[in-house]
Amino acid sequence: MTKDQDKAPNFWRAPRATALLVLANGVVLEGAGLGAVGEAVGEVCFNTAMTGYQEILTDPSYAGQIVTFTFPHIGNVGTNDDDVETSNPAASAGVRGVIVHAPITAPSNHRAARHFDIWLKSRGIVGLCGLDTRALTTLIRENGMPNAVIAHSPDGVFDVEALRAKARAWPGLEGMDLVPSVTAAHGYDWTQSAWSPEGYRDGGAGKFRVVAIDYGVKRNILRLLTEAGCSVTVAPATTSAEAILALHPDGVFLSNGPGDPAETGKYAVPVISDLLKRKIPIFGICLGHQMLALAIGGKTEKMRQGHHGANHPVMDFVTGKVEIVSMNHGFAVDPASLPSNARETHKSLFDGSNCGLELTDRPAFSVQHHPEASPGPRDSHYLFTRFVEMMERERALAS
């Protein structure tokens, strides 16, 4: 122990480590700091995707989480403005931190506009590299997703006991409604369509009017709705059923989002239940899937390690095909809790958890995975077409 350490025994010093991951159980993992200087508390998860790190770190569904990438080389293609997924740049909360194995190299990609480290700093995201991410992933697989503090201090000085106390004191995602921190403050119209060689296009007027309830919606979901022929209006998460109906929608989309679905459901479920009674076509993704399940009397439960990655096989019982999908969720719908008018449509082939449902007496369906993330790459795009066809049928019945 050095003289300085003897004077301040509650502080930790090391010649190389400039970042720490301090778990709630007291374990301290060392690394090199990157991104923003400071500290952040959250739930540590791992993501198995080999690409799309910028989309992952700007997905509002990751609010409250520290993302560990299992792929070792993250940041090598830099960052750009087109790959940001949050549609709300003013969102007050998002991903809490990022953990990667290898140091970030200079960007090597024709689309790169900014170095990954500079981008992390600009967004206030604390990062750590040099950690054994395989060992951390194994820990999560065996023990579940831990609460932790990620800290970056260029001088390598940390009050470890204070960080341990902060990690222990954080209540975790169960019982936490994070949607208010990521939803839009005001409604707005979305017109941008899917990517083309010339970039993103204006979708123009669509055949169907869709209201997208924003629990933390991703841009590419809105783009694919527009591409499918929808004129999209985004509504804040707390928008009433009356305000939604006043927009005369042909259909309602329930978006992805972060946090405990049971907490968000306290204000979202009554709205969805009212819309279901009126037999308005509904399509939900991720948190939107869980909201639909809760609205019909189902239940959700916390998962041990969650699903985070772009290589998840899902069986579609409607088509009989297996899709390779992108997932990001730490809660799941309990299929045994679904009522008799709900039919399971998709199931994870990794662990058998529920990944989709449809109602037999209402025009409504939803999926747990992210069809817009395109890991297949287009295995699940048919879901947007299915939504449009549902609106077409309901319009024909009403005429």
Instruction: Examine the domain organization and report whether 322 and 243 are in the same domain.
Output: yes
Known active-site residue 286: yes
What is the model's pLDDT at position 93?
Answer: 61
- For residue 362, what are the contacts with CB-CB under 8 A and spacing of at least 6? 276, 279, 282, 341
Q: Is residue 1 part of a domain?
A: no
Instruction: Examine the domain organization and report whether 165 and 184 are in the same domain.
Output: no
Instruction: Examine the domain organization and report whether 36 and 69 are in the same domain.
Output: yes
**Is residue 68 predicted with pLDDT exceeding 80?**
yes
Beta carbons within 10 angstroms of residue 172's beta carbon? 15
Please give the residue that has the higher pLDDT: either 2 or 251: 251
| Gap between the Cα atoms of 198 and 82, Å rounded | 12
Pairing of strands 147-152, 299-316: unpaired
Q: Of the listed 227, 286, 329, 369, which one is catalytic?
A: 286
Q: Is residue 174 part of a domain?
A: no
We report the CATH number of the domain holding residue 199 as 3.40.50.880
Residue 7 pLDDT level (bands cut at 50, 70, 90)? very low
> 277: which 2 tokens?
């009674």
What is the model's pLDDT at position 89?
Answer: 67
Q: For 7-16, 91-100, 193-202, which range has the lowest pLDDT when averaged over its residues?
A: 7-16
Q: Is residue 81 part of a domain?
A: yes
Instruction: Examine the domain organization and report whether 390 and 317 are in the same domain.
Output: yes
Instruction: Examine the domain organization and report whether 388 and 307 are in the same domain.
Output: yes
- For residue 356, what are the contacts with CB-CB under 8 A and spacing of at least 6? 289, 314, 316, 344, 345, 346, 347, 365, 366, 367, 368, 369
Q: Of the listed 39, 85, 358, 372, which one is catalytic?
A: 372
Amino acid (one-letter) located at 30: E
Task: Tabulate helix, strand, coil % of the chain (nearest 5).
Answer: 25, 35, 40
pLDDT tens digits, 108-148: 999 999 999 999 999 999 999 999 999 999 999 999 999 99
Beta carbons within 10 angstroms of residue 307's beta carbon? 24
> 284: which 2 tokens?
């939900």
What is the model's pLDDT at position 195?
Answer: 81
Q: Is residue 270 part of a domain?
A: yes
Instruction: Examine the domain organization and report whether 368 and 255 are in the same domain.
Output: yes
Mean pLDDT of the chain: 93
Q: Of the listed 307, 346, 369, 370, which one is catalytic?
A: 370
Known active-site residue 45: no
**Is residue 38 predicted with pLDDT exceeding 60?**
yes
Cβ-based burial of 306 (10 A; exposed 0-12, middle 13-18, buried ≥19): buried
pLDDT tens digits, 236-290: 999 999 999 999 999 999 999 999 999 999 999 999 999 999 999 999 999 999 9
Known active-site residue 369: no
Residue 10 pLDDT level (bands cut at 50, 70, 90)? very low
Number of structural domains the chain divides into:
2
We report the CATH number of the domain holding residue 76 as 3.50.30.20
Instruction: Examine the domain organization and report whether 224 and 132 are in the same domain.
Output: no
Q: Which domain holds residue 276?
A: 179-398
| Gap between the Cα atoms of 209 and 202, Å rounded | 16
Q: For 2-16, 66-80, 204-218, 288-302, which range has the lowest pLDDT when averaged over its residues?
A: 2-16
Instruction: Examine the domain organization and report whether 291 and 156 are in the same domain.
Output: no
Instruction: Examine the domain organization and report whether 281 and 344 are in the same domain.
Output: yes
* Farthest CA pair distance, the chain: 84
Between the alpha carbon of residue 398 and those of residues 12, 226, 250, the distances in Å are: 69, 23, 11
